[in-house]
Chains A and B, each alone.
Chain A
Amino acid sequence: MKAISYKTRVSRVLFAGAIGVTALSGAIIAGENEFGPVGQIKVDAKKAELGKRLFFDRRLSGDAALSCASCHQPDKAFTDGLALSKAYPGSKGFRNTPTLMNTATRKNWFHDGRLGTNLNDVTREMITEDYIMNMDMRLMQERLKQDPVYVKMFKDAGYGEPSNGSVRKAIPEYLKTLTSRNSPFDKGEMSESAKRGFALFKGKAQCASCHTGANFTNDKAYNMGVPENPEIWSDPMRHMTYAAFGVFMGIENILNLRRDVGAHVLTHKADGSDIGKFTTPSLRELKYTGPYMHNGTFKSLFEVVSFYNQGGGQDKNKDATIKPLNLTFGEQQDLVAFLEALSGDVLNTKEHAWKDEIPTNYTAIKNWRAAKN
């Protein structure tokens, strides 16, 4: 029954989109620090549909090898199942691909929180960054103008002809549709173990001091002493990708570092006390998003819970609130059961994933000399 009422809500949202309502409003969104469903975000249906095709189109990367969906796969709640992400050919990733579920509700993006403006900027960063999609957006615009399907979709969405600016609006519009739904937690259908876990979550285990609100994150960065993933330093391609990123972010002495500085790229504290801070992740859809932590260092949720139970890891900058929790084995199992109860529908149907074939070549514009560029 819940599923049906959800579908009704979707059709209402789509209808609203069709008549041009684009305001962000969560019908049943939980308050800032309250736990509850994330809620739907109203979108402009045509813009979101365009954004969906763009998201799945490999021609949005420099050599047409990758789409957004190459790493953000619908079956895995828009992650890739790898400890460290793949990156653009010629580079290798040094962080775990974060989920895009509920990303439109975040206050900042990336594990280090380096962008705190909006998804328009995040989209630009992902498409143009050399180790991610390495796309010159001017060339991207001309590729899109060559595809009659896009010419029509951009026009129908009210954007006029395909342009860089509109790509950076349409993809975020699509991302707004990626919201959690129908988790046992949201439906009030949690197991007894999960219920006990929820009580621990808010109480003895103190998870709720950071994992708060409908999306279970306060969007702030902390140092928990998560161990380094040694592969970043042993695999020269990962190491060089991280080092090039570090140079770009203005990190000093980068080739002598053997650690991911995290939010230091944003706050650049002279005493280095911000080194090793990473943004609190959402806890939604964890069933599909392992391995965990910013560097994928833990394979299972039980490992994560054990890590917190022992008081986190070793780091001179470790947050003072991270202390041993003294949870029993059973309590840890209950916590895991609760975390799993925060996973809902996998959004891998046509509604959220582009299923039609997207061409990889380009037809010529007929009568080219007479056509306006």
Chain B
Amino acid sequence: MKLKMKISALLAGLLVSAAAVGMAHSGSNVPPLAPLGDPPIPLDNKQSDAKIKLGKMLFWDPRLGGDASTGCVTCHEPDQGWAFSDSLSRGYPGTVHWRNSQTVINSAYLGKQFWTGSASSNESQAKSAATGAVAGNGESDVMEMRLAFIPEYRDLFKKSFGTEYPLIADAWKAIASFERTLIHNNTPLDKYLRGDKKALTPQQVRGMSLFNGKAGCIACHNGALATDEKYYNLGVPPAERWEDDGLAQITFRYEQYAKGVTQKMYRKIKDDAGLYYRNKEKADMGKFRTPPLRYTKYTAPYMHNGSFWDLKEVVEFYNAGGGSNDFTDGTMAKNKSPLIKPLGLSEKEVDDLVAFLDAFSGEELVIEAPKLPNYAPLPPPASN
């Protein structure tokens, strides 16, 4: 009886909040914010304890990189929000990356990875990051063979995948399995949306109404994940480092070259054209995927190039109606999203909204670094 009542109270709470969301955002059919459930697990890479243990070690292991000095963790540092706290990600030694490192937390829910959705899964994201020249710069042959010379890894790969010697594709699978355990779905907002009315402060509740209403955030940051996973140009300004940092200029040009734009475009492009690199459609210049909002408390700086150092700056950017760049002002294109307009939020409303954004983050996710096993000589071959 008691249990039943609890459940109905919970259900009522859910319905009320859903209704409030739906009402608040009139005139558009977007899914409301909702508590986040469990991440999807792909049928071809089911979770197992051995695999998760292995994936965790591999996530930290710098031998999955070109010169054995860079692992996943190099640009996804647990104490930097499982991201990297600089505008542009660290990059391989001798380079700097050209985009902001995104958090690994909750990446398991995303349909596509990277700022322009260029990887279709955590598995393929891991591979791209480990092999890209300004990221891991590793070569599959070499990384695979390194794993074969680590007895603990031979055992764990065998337990996880049944192979005699590790295969590099299985390394990406194991890392993805580990990443699917890095889940953040019990935030104050999740609790609130599940019916705990005390989980948000009154200020945060006001901020939520703005999020769903006047500020229009919900138009893109919607659903359980707070992203529609679509691509928009908000007029985020170009990275400052391209103006005055030789290393960043090198990487910028390299990316134009590596992403296969025409020579004409290579010569004149001066900002990150985003989704354009994937399909070469002018209409997609400067567009980036709506990022999810959970765990953002720990992942500063923000936006695809880390232009903003705190969430208030981000909110003020939106309040001002976004910004401008070469792909909004007609230099290269005029692709600014029509959804981005001055919001007319008062200073108090800005603070309310910022306070609400804080509710997307719960306790910091801390994990002890694993002990990494050493290389050992390969046992003599079985005589035959």
Contact = CB atoms under 8 A, between A and B. Distances in A.
A248 B376 CA distance: 22
Contacts of A369: 243, 270
A142 B139 contact: no
B275 interface: no
A59 interface: yes
Given A90-B69, A236-B375, A240-B148, A258 B380 contact: yes
A139 B254 CA distance: 5
B378 A239 contact: yes
B141 A130 contact: yes
Interface in B239-260: 242-247, 249-251, 253-254, 256-258
B168 to A, nearest CB: 11
A255 B66 contact: no
B145 interface: yes
A239 B149 contact: yes
A130 B139 contact: yes
Interface residues of B, number: 49
Contacts of A91: 142
Contact of A146 (B141, B249, B258): B249
Contacts of A244: 139, 141-142, 144-145
Interface string A32-63: 00000000000000000000000000010111
Interface string A209-248: 0000000000000000000000001111101110110011
B249 to A, nearest CB: 6
B381 interface: yes
B94 A62 contact: yes
B266 interface: yes
Nearest to B242: A368
Contact of A130 (B66, B94, B257): B66
Contacts of A1: none
Contacts of A64: 93-94
A363 interface: yes
B68 A139 contact: no
B80 interface: no
A120 interface: no
B90 interface: no
A233 B92 CA distance: 30
A88 B66 contact: yes
Contact of A142 (B63, B93, B253, B269): B253
Interface string B345-384: 0000000000000000000000000000001111011100
Given A63-B93, A138-B254, A90 B377 contact: no
Interface in A79-110: 88-91
A240 B145 contact: yes
Contacts of B290: none
Contacts of B38: none
Contacts of B382: 256
Contacts of B145: 240-241, 243-244, 247
Nearest to B247: A362
A234 B379 CA distance: 10
B377 A236 contact: yes
Contact of A63 (B67, B141, B267): B67
A248 B382 CA distance: 23
Interface in A340-370: 361-365, 368-369
Nearest to A359: B246
B175 interface: no
Contacts of B95: 139
B158 interface: no
B268 interface: yes
A258 B377 CA distance: 12
Contact of B66 (A134, A138, A145, A372): A134
B246 A146 contact: yes
A5 interface: no
A73 interface: no
Interface of A (DSSP majority class): loop
Interface in A230-280: 233-237, 239-241, 243-244, 247-248, 255-258
Contacts of A368: 242-244, 249, 270
Nearest to B375: A236
Contacts of B376: 236
B246 A139 contact: no
Nearest to A129: B139
B246 A62 contact: no
Contacts of A372: 267-268
Interface in A95-148: 130-131, 134, 136, 138-139, 141-143, 145-146
A3 interface: no
B377 A63 contact: no
A69 B249 CA distance: 27
Contact of A89 (B69, B149, B165): B69
Contacts of B63: 90
Contact of B253 (A59, A239, A257, A373): A373
Contacts of B247: 361-362
B133 interface: yes
Contacts of A141: 257
Contacts of B270: 368-369, 373
Contact of A134 (B134, B139, B149, B242): B139
A28 interface: no
- The 3 tightest CB contacts between A and B, nearest first, are A362-B246, A90-B68, A130-B139
Interface of B: 63, 65-69, 92-95, 133-134, 137-139, 141-142, 144-146, 148-149, 165, 242-247, 249-251, 253-254, 256-258, 266-270, 375-378, 380-382
Given A62-B133, A138-B254, A365-B246, 4 more contacts: A62-B92, A136-B258, A368-B244, A368-B249
